[in-house]
């Protein structure tokens, strides 16, 4: 993979104009440059014409005519330039929007295990900084190029005017501008050097800012008096961010001070040459006005030019990080070619000598783990917290890959399957599921607007016990969820959310049903109803239940009991009770919670 250098990145962005079929931008740029670049040059002639009129060198009628022509040309140039810039600005926005679509696709293609990695999140923040604003990064590169072309035309015209008087003044202006540009480049390099630190500090600051202002945390913050704790954390992380930002601004100030000194030197020498030429009678008073005005305007344009070049370099560097991120092959999930997964048959799932630990950690979650789930088997996975139960589900679903060993589906390594085909096998309710800000029905069926999809969605919602509640809402199944998008949106209770997530899993109708703590917010009766419904719905499917409650185990063919060392017991409910080990102890203790007068602290 070729590394994205400055010119390669810039060329890549320019090429995107063509690949996005916006080639009109190539025509607009030179037109904007000519019309926009002439405007400041026209302005320097006003004072010369006025002085010539006052001194009698030109008749008054000629002055009015010339000023009228100059003003008319300026207005026309400004109008044409403004219209063309409006077109290009819209196109720049569209180009950036296309990259957002590309990023959305990328998120789906990145290995899931990377998404949970904080180091990867920092890389994402650095890489996608290019798209965060229309005034910085990707979109700004095009605007900077446009401004540079405009400034170049002005520089050429001003240089011609000054060169007619004294070529050394033109060279002096260009020279000091070049030195200032090099100084500004030093700032850009320092900013680029600190951007990872800035992204890391910004991510931490952002988390505590969001937590302190997120309504969903309101109850916990009040009940547990967490306000001062969170505010102190936010203050600390904000100060860390401010320190980095201050260091960048200090560097920017020093280089700006140097640029100011160079500007004073340039102006002093230029004015000296002009005044000397006047007293030597080499130029007229009107010419003095012309050249001084030209130097002021020329200096302004040169500063704008160097600023645009410096900003362009900084923006291209940001975009370079974006393209480097896109080009990283090790972030994308690997996928096989096999697509012949039978979705109408329950598969056999086998863990063979599987070892697993999370990226950038040393603790093994699974060690030489061997385990088989038979086709059509209903398996309950129970046990202690931190024993790796949810990790097993992530491995089965292909979200994480074993560190060593392999997982087989019908005797074939999961790595051989096409990922999209593989994911279609699973109807999963994760422990940390999400509800989306769209309608209730769209949360179940997605964007499948067929009538049969709608009717099946209603059936799934009925099976989880939400039918009466939803039909009692003013908009029924089309009721918007949450208040993020629609102020009339509804926010379901924890139990209702879980039922909605289960209905979504039912609708998918995969041949492996996985429920990871799906009923933790439900009462015992509602939980029993859900599991009884699933007992009917998972017929001829492989079903896996993870729960701290053992009420799910009576619906299952087999039970796998885990503790901190891994799989400890495996068998039917009756077999494990007879063994009187870990499962028996947990089942007995939980049973006392449901017995009248039972003491949960009493030893089994």
Q: Is 315 in the same domain as 417?
A: no
Look at residue 462 and tell me if it is in a domain. Answer: no
Looking up residue 11, the CATH number of its domain turns out to be: 1.20.1560.10
Question: Which of 329, 364, 395 is the endpoint of a domain?
Answer: 329
Look at residue 456 and tell me if it is in a domain. Answer: no
Kindly tell me if the per-residue pLDDT of 315 is higher than 80: yes
User: What does the alpha-carbon distance between residue 408 and residue 5 come to, in Å, rounded to a whole number?
Assistant: 43
Mean pLDDT of all residues belonging to the chain: 82
Q: Is 271 in the same domain as 393?
A: no
- Highest mean pLDDT pick, 209-223, 330-344, 439-453, 545-559: 439-453
pLDDT, residue 150, reads 94
Print the domain residue range for 506. Answer: 349-435+492-593
User: What does the alpha-carbon distance between residue 80 and residue 406 come to, in Å, rounded to a whole number?
Assistant: 65
Determine the angle formed by the axes of helices 6-19 and 138-165, rounding to 10 degrees: 110
What Å distances lie between residue 90 and 20, 84, 86, 127, 142, CA to CA? 13, 10, 6, 24, 11
- Highest mean pLDDT pick, 84-88, 180-184, 309-313: 84-88
CB 150 within 8 A of CB 304: no
- Per the structure, how many domains does the chain have? 2
Count CB atoms within 10 A of the CB of residue 276.
12
Kindly tell me if the per-residue pLDDT of 548 is higher than 50: yes
Choose between 553 and 30: higher pLDDT: 30
pLDDT, residue 408, reads 93
pLDDT, residue 565, reads 75
Q: Is 319 in the same domain as 365?
A: no
Q: Is 224 in the same domain as 118?
A: yes
Task: Kindly indicate the confidence band of residue 603, based on its pLDDT and cuts at 50, 70 and 90.
Answer: very low
Q: Is 218 in the same domain as 71?
A: yes
User: What does the alpha-carbon distance between residue 281 and residue 283 come to, in Å, rounded to a whole number?
Assistant: 5
Q: What is the mean pLDDT of residues 28-41?
A: 93
Number of alpha helices (DSSP H) and beta strands (DSSP E) in the chain:
20, 10
Structure tokens of 263?
């500007």
Look at residue 517 and tell me if it is in a domain. Answer: yes
Q: Is 121 in the same domain as 185?
A: yes
Look at residue 111 and tell me if it is in a domain. Answer: yes
Q: Which residues contact 371 (CB under 8 A, 6 or more apart)?
A: 350, 351, 354, 560, 567
Q: Is 422 in the same domain as 522?
A: yes
Q: Which residues contact 363 (CB under 8 A, 6 or more apart)?
A: 357
Q: Is 289 in the same domain as 367?
A: no
Q: Is 356 in the same domain as 421?
A: yes
Q: Is 312 in the same domain as 398?
A: no
Choose between 139 and 193: higher pLDDT: 139
pLDDT, residue 37, reads 92
pLDDT, residue 2, reads 62
Looking up residue 357, the CATH number of its domain turns out to be: 3.40.50.300
Choose between 417 and 433: higher pLDDT: 417
Q: Is 275 in the same domain as 387?
A: no
Look at residue 599 and tell me if it is in a domain. Answer: no
Kindly tell me if the per-residue pLDDT of 32 is higher than 90: yes
Q: Is 393 in the same domain as 285?
A: no
Look at residue 88 and tell me if it is in a domain. Answer: yes
Q: What is the mean pLDDT of residues 224-241?
A: 80
User: What does the alpha-carbon distance between residue 122 and residue 199 come to, in Å, rounded to a whole number?
Assistant: 6
């Amino acid at each position: 993979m070729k590394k994205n250098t400055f010119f390669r990145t810039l060329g890549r962005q320019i090429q995107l104009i063509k690949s996005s079929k916006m080639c009109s931008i190539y025509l607009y740029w030179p037109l904007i440059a000519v019309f926009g670049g002439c405007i400041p040059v026209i302005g320097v002639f006003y004072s010369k014409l006025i002085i010539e009129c006052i001194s009698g060198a030109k008749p008054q009628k000629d002055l009015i005519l010339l000023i009228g022509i100059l003003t008319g040309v300026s207005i026309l140039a400004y109008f044409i330039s403004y219209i063309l810039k409006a077109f290009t600005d819209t196109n720049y926005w569209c180009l950036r929007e296309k990259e957002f679509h590309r990023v959305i696709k990328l998120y789906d293609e990145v290995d899931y295990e990377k998404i949970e990695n904080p180091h990867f999140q920092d890389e994402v923040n650095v890489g996608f900084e290019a798209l965060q604003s229309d005034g910085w990064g990707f979109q700004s590169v095009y605007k900077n190029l446009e401004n540079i072309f405009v400034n170049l035309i002005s520089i050429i015209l001003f240089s011609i005017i000054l060169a007619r008087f004294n070529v050394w003044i033109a060279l002096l202006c260009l020279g000091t501008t070049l030195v200032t540009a090099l100084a500004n480049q030093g700032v850009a390099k320092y900013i680029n050097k600190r951007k990872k630190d800035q992204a890391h500090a910004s991510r931490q600051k952002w988390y505590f800012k969001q937590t302190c202002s997120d309504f969903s945390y309101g109850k916990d913050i009040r009940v547990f008096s967490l306000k001062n704790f969170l505010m102190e954390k936010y203050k600390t992380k904000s100060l860390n961010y401010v320190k980095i930002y201050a260091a960048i601004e200090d560097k920017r100030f020093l280089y700006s001070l140097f640029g100011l000194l160079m500007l004073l030197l340039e102006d002093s020498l230029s004015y000296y040459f002009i005044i000397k030429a006047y007293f030597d009678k080499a130029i007229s008073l009107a010419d003095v006005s012309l050249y001084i005005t030209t130097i002021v305007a020329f200096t302004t344009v040169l500063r704008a030019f160097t600023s645009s070049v410096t900003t362009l370099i900084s923006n291209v560097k940001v975009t370079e990080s974006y393209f480097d991120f896109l080009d990283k092959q090790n972030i994308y999930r690997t996928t096989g070619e096999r697509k012949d997964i039978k979705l109408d048959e329950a598969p056999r799932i086998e863990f063979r000598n599987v070892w697993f630990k999370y990226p950038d950690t040393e603790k093994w979650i699974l060690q030489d783990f061997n385990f088989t789930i038979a086709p059509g088997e209903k398996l309950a996975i129970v046990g202690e917290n931190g024993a790796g139960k949810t990790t097993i589900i992530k491995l089965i679903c292909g979200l994480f890959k074993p560190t060593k060993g392999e997982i087989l589906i019908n005797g074939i390594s999961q790595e051989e399957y096409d990922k999209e085909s593989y994911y279609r096998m699973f109807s999963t309710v994760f422990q940390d599921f999400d509800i989306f800000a769209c309608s209730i029905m769209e949360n179940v069926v997605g964007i499948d607007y067929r009538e049969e999809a709608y009717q099946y969605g209603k059936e799934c919602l009925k099976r989880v016990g939400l039918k009466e509640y939803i039909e009692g809402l003013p908009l029924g199944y089309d009721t918007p969820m949450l208040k993020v998008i629609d102020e009339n949106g509804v926010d379901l209770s924890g139990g209702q959310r879980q039922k909605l997530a289960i209905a979504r899993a039912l609708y998918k109708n995969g041949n492996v049903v996985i429920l990871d703590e799906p009923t933790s917010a439900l009462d015992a009766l509602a939980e029993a109803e859900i599991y009884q419904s699933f007992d009917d719905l998972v017929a001829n499917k492989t079903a896996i239940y993870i729960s701290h409650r053992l009420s799910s185990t009576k619906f299952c063919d087999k039970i796998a009991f885990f503790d901190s060392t891994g799989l400890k017991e495996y068998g039917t409910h009756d077999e494990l009770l007879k063994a009187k080990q870990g499962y028996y102890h947990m089942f007995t203790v939980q049973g006392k919670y449901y017995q009248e007068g039972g003491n949960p602290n009493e030893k089994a």
